[in-house]
Chains A and B, each alone.
Chain A
Amino acid sequence: MESAHTIAERVARDSYGRLLAIIAARSGDIASAEDALATAFRAALEHWPNKGVPDRPEAWLVTVARREISRDRRHEHVIDAATSELLLRLDERLAATSEGLPDRRLELMLACGRPEIDRQARTALMLQAVLGLDAKRIANAFLVSPAAMSQRLVRAKKSLRSLDRGFELPEADVLPARLDSVLAAIYAAFGAAWDDAHGGESQTSGLSGEAIWLGKLIVELLPDEPEAKGLLALMLYCEARRPARRDKDGRFVPLREQDWRTWQRDLVEHAELLLRDAAALGRPGRYQTEAAIQSLHVTARQTGQMPFAALTALYDVMAAHWPSTGVLVSRAAAYGEAGAIGVALVQLDGLRSGDIESYQPYWVTRAHLLSKAGRTDASAAALTRAIGLTSDPGLRSFLQDQAASR
């Protein structure tokens, strides 16, 4: 028989976002909902050990939290005995009906993607509202001052509250852009604490687990959206390779040297399935395209041969429609792998100096290409630049060893 404390903890862990979404949905006021839910959890820890855990603990918590909000008693966070009795009877009535708690998390996530919210704040807000992450944890991942991150979150919640509209599903014509914003925010969480595209992501301060969780949720909530599947597939491919990124001595291993048999097969298979399902929906997009590129790496290992024509073609699609610095650098790397060194270097030369002056993957790629082109001095200079821009010490030693061996 689980203790009241254990049950409360489990509910907090598994259902936080679901409960918060329900409580905040009417008003759009996340901050008040957070406070009310915290009060409800405190009340649970006070009353459940004495009165017993209710049959439907989530419903009990929602009821208490809603009561907190409507009562608007900011200074008294105590539930008196009479109220507690009332709540238990209410709980019994709820248990007697077969009414389940609605899932308002889709509305909550889509609200976090609103244009009124500062782009930088959307990811943080989603992580805090749906997963209950604190500002410090989020600040660590994004290398931001914790106080600044807290302020960002406060402002974001104020923006939502001031709309005074509650969380409704956006109209059909607005949904695609809003979904795009949500997916971008999830991807930003995934990419936080990554040193560069080639690997070096922090185990503890990264948010890849949380991003994948949110990705799975959005796929579940929107099963007919191929880009949601594409994004999840992309993240799963990357996550699958985690065990291969470090060798047994903890040293960094680049993609081309990884033992693909250590890639997590269940994640790869899930990703492949998602990609197939997405393609069947017939609406290609950037995440599906990126995931398709990842799928080629799997194919390359299985067959022993990278399909270079397909790889460069997919990167050309990325570059044509979503030409971010990261995409353009990765494309050049791909062309380099395909043997088109000259073309790849020209592609790199086309990037603006402002965009690449502190972008580590550019310099790693450039160094590699120059080396293949036989331009050793220029390659060494680029490699030194890459080293100076690397924050992961494991990746830095790897690059330094490379420099030393030339």
Chain B
Amino acid sequence: MECVLIFHEPMSEFAKRTDPDQREAYWGAWSAYIGAMAEAGVMTHGNGLQAPQTATSVRVRGGDRDVQDGPYADSKEQLGGYVAVQVTSLEDALEWAARSPAAASGTVEVRQVLPANKAELEAA
């Protein structure tokens, strides 16, 4: 099954990315984690995302467009990245989620991917 791990981190974690005293440990932990997933052959694809302040949010309601600077929700934890994994069970995905640096400071949401073809989708 394919699952996506969605990493939510508090702003204090994003701050580490550019803090000279903390960034080596921060990036080191993430790079080791992604590397381990890749070497275990579970990762299909993924991306880290630039900081939440750089986001732009778009809504189209009726005919009206609304473009906002900033992320979708004004929450304490923000989206930092995502990884798609190919695993045999949800539990394997949860184990990988627990290993991420985001699990220790934020939350990792794990969701199964929708099937790609229509027949499977309707059967689900």
- Contact in complex: A393, B34 (CB < 8 Å): no
- Given A390-B99, A391-B103, are A385 and B94 also a contact pair (CB < 8 Å)? no
- Given A143-B98, A388-B34, A390-B99, are A400 and B40 also a contact pair (CB < 8 Å)? no
Instruction: Mark each residue of chain A from 33 to 63: 1 if its CB lies under 8 Å from any CB of chain B, else 0.
Output: 0000000000000000000000000000000
Q: Is B41 part of the contact surface with A, judged by Cβ < 8 Å?
A: yes
Of B29, B39, B96, B105, the residue contacting A400 (CB under 8 A) is: B29
Q: Which residues of B contact A145 (CB under 8 A)?
A: 90, 94
Q: How far is the CA of A400 from the CA of B36 in the complex (A)?
A: 14
Query: Closest CB-CB distance, A215 to chain B, in whole Å?
Result: 25
- Given A385-B35, A388-B33, A389-B36, are A403 and B28 also a contact pair (CB < 8 Å)? yes
Q: Is A148 part of the contact surface with B, judged by Cβ < 8 Å?
A: yes
B38 closest partner in A (C-beta): A388
- Contact in complex: B98, A391 (CB < 8 Å): yes
Q: How large is the interface on B (under 10, 10 to 19, 20 to 34, 35 or more residues)?
A: 20 to 34
Identify which of residues 383-404 in chain A touch chain B, using a CB-to-CB cut-off of 8 Å: 384-385, 387-391, 393, 396-397, 400, 403-404
Q: Is B25 part of the contact surface with A, judged by Cβ < 8 Å?
A: yes
Q: Which residues of A contact B36 (CB under 8 A)?
A: 358, 384-385, 387-389
Identify which of residues 157-201 in chain A touch chain B, using a CB-to-CB cut-off of 8 Å: none
Q: How far is the CA of A403 from the CA of B35 in the complex (A)?
A: 15
B105 closest partner in A (C-beta): A393
- Contact in complex: A400, B99 (CB < 8 Å): no
- Given A357-B41, A384-B35, A403-B28, are A391 and B91 also a contact pair (CB < 8 Å)? no
- Contact in complex: B29, A357 (CB < 8 Å): no
Q: How far is the CA of A388 from the CA of B37 in the complex (A)?
A: 8
Residue among B24, B29, B103 with the highest chain A CB neighbour number at 10 A: B29
Query: Closest CB-CB distance, B76 to chain A, in whole Å?
Result: 19
Query: Closest CB-CB distance, A44 to chain B, in whole Å?
Result: 39
Q: Which residues of A contact B66 (CB under 8 A)?
A: none
What total of A-B pairs shows CB separation below 8 Å?
58
Residue among B42, B101, B103 with the highest chain A CB neighbour number at 10 A: B101
- Given A144-B91, A357-B41, A400-B29, are A393 and B104 also a contact pair (CB < 8 Å)? yes
- Given A357-B39, A358-B40, A400-B25, are A388 and B91 also a contact pair (CB < 8 Å)? no
Q: Is B32 part of the contact surface with A, judged by Cβ < 8 Å?
A: yes
Q: How large is the interface on A (under 10, 10 to 19, 20 to 34, 35 or more residues)?
A: 10 to 19
Q: Is B95 part of the contact surface with A, judged by Cβ < 8 Å?
A: yes
Query: Closest CB-CB distance, A156 to chain B, in whole Å?
Result: 17
Q: Which residues of A contact B41 (CB under 8 A)?
A: 357
Query: Closest CB-CB distance, B27 to chain A, in whole Å?
Result: 11
Q: Which residues of B contact A400 (CB under 8 A)?
A: 25, 28-29
Q: Which residues of A contact B33 (CB under 8 A)?
A: 387-388
Q: Which residues of A contact B98 (CB under 8 A)?
A: 143, 391
Instruction: Mark each residue of chain A from 134 to 159: 1 if its CB lies under 8 Å from any CB of chain B, else 0.
Output: 00000000011100100000000000
Query: Closest CB-CB distance, A154 to chain B, in whole Å?
Result: 18
Q: Which residues of A contact B34 (CB under 8 A)?
A: 388
B36 closest partner in A (C-beta): A388
New A-B contacts (16) at CB < 8 Å, excluding given A385-B32, A391-B103: A143-B91, A143-B94, A144-B94, A145-B90, A357-B41, A358-B95, A384-B31, A385-B39, A387-B33, A388-B32, A388-B34, A388-B35, A389-B36, A393-B101, A396-B29, A400-B29
Q: Can you report 21 A-B residue pairs in the complex whose CB atoms are below 8 A from each other?
A: A143-B91, A143-B94, A143-B95, A357-B39, A358-B42, A358-B96, A384-B31, A384-B36, A385-B35, A385-B36, A387-B33, A388-B34, A388-B99, A389-B99, A391-B95, A391-B104, A393-B105, A396-B101, A400-B25, A400-B28, A404-B24
Going nearest first, the 3 A-B pairs with the smallest beta carbon separation are: A388-B36, A388-B32, A387-B32
